[in-house]
Amino acid sequence: MSTRSRRAYRTGLSRALIVDAAQALTVERGLAGWGMRDVAARLDTSLSVIYHHVGDRDAVCAAVVDRVYAEMDLQLDTTNWRELLHGVLTSMIDHLSGYPGVATWLLRNGPQTEALLPVLDAGVTLMLEAGWGEESAAAYSVAFNTCLGLIALGDQQIGAADPGLSGLLDMLDADSSAGPGAKQMQQMVERFTTDAEREATRREYCRYALERVLDGLQVRLDQLTSGPVAPR
């Protein structure tokens, strides 16, 4: 029996080592950029060993997402819903940029991993206590999904300038009669299309969007807690 065959059926591999390999592949290629055979090849093992320790590809992806969130060591000891959302989502904006595809996975699958459930419970509970009532879960998900959507959109642009933004920049550059509004847009788009600034600009933009979403949610909460609310 060859060394590779012995390796394929030995018991030395563990769930943690398999998730390590899948997580490393996610950093290199994105969560959607590898398959189960890639994980098996990275570990020099068989698919059956991975299925035995973790499960199918969906299970491996969920384990990677759970690991990524566990690494953030999120602090949930605040009693203020806005502080909790700001802390969690700011950490997410910074951390998930290193794991392309995780934000997209969460948009599609929701917070169905062990590390995310305590965050969800703490966040929605604080919103209930603050007076959000039946809108608590919806308001919580709006903040999360806004950030996830922007991170996921940015993941698609990694490695090359976004052709849509490049086209917009070319159009703005060619318009000699552009006013101050177009000029300001041009300055922002230039940062998104410059390699040295792109990643920092993406994060700054996500943080700006988060702050504005939280501002809007605060206005809504003030409406809910100040007395009768006009029909929407």
Q: pLDDT tens track of the chain, all 232 residues?
A: 445 554 545 457 899 999 999 999 999 999 999 999 999 999 999 999 999 999 999 999 999 999 998 898 788 889 999 999 999 999 999 999 899 999 999 999 887 777 788 889 999 999 999 999 999 999 999 999 999 999 998 887 555 555 566 666 666 666 666 677 777 666 666 666 666 677 788 889 999 999 999 999 999 999 999 976 555 5
Could you give phi then psi for residue 158, rounded to 5 degrees? -65, 135
Same structural domain for residues 36 and 139? Answer: no
Rg for the chain, CA atoms, rounded: 22
Same structural domain for residues 221 and 144? Answer: yes
Q: Which residue among 36, 68, 100 closes a domain?
A: 68
Residue 131 counted as domain residue: yes
DSSP classification of residue 72: T
Same structural domain for residues 84 and 142? Answer: yes
Q: Which residue among 50, 68, 86 closes a domain?
A: 68
Q: Which residues contact 197 (CB under 8 A, 6 or more apart)?
A: 191
pTM of the model: 0.78
Joined tokens for residue 72: 């953030």
Residue 232 counted as domain residue: no
Cα-based distances in Å from 19 to 28, 54, 170: 14, 8, 43
Task: Please name the amino acid found at residue 13.
Answer: L
**Total domains, the chain:** 2
Residue-averaged pLDDT of the chain: 84
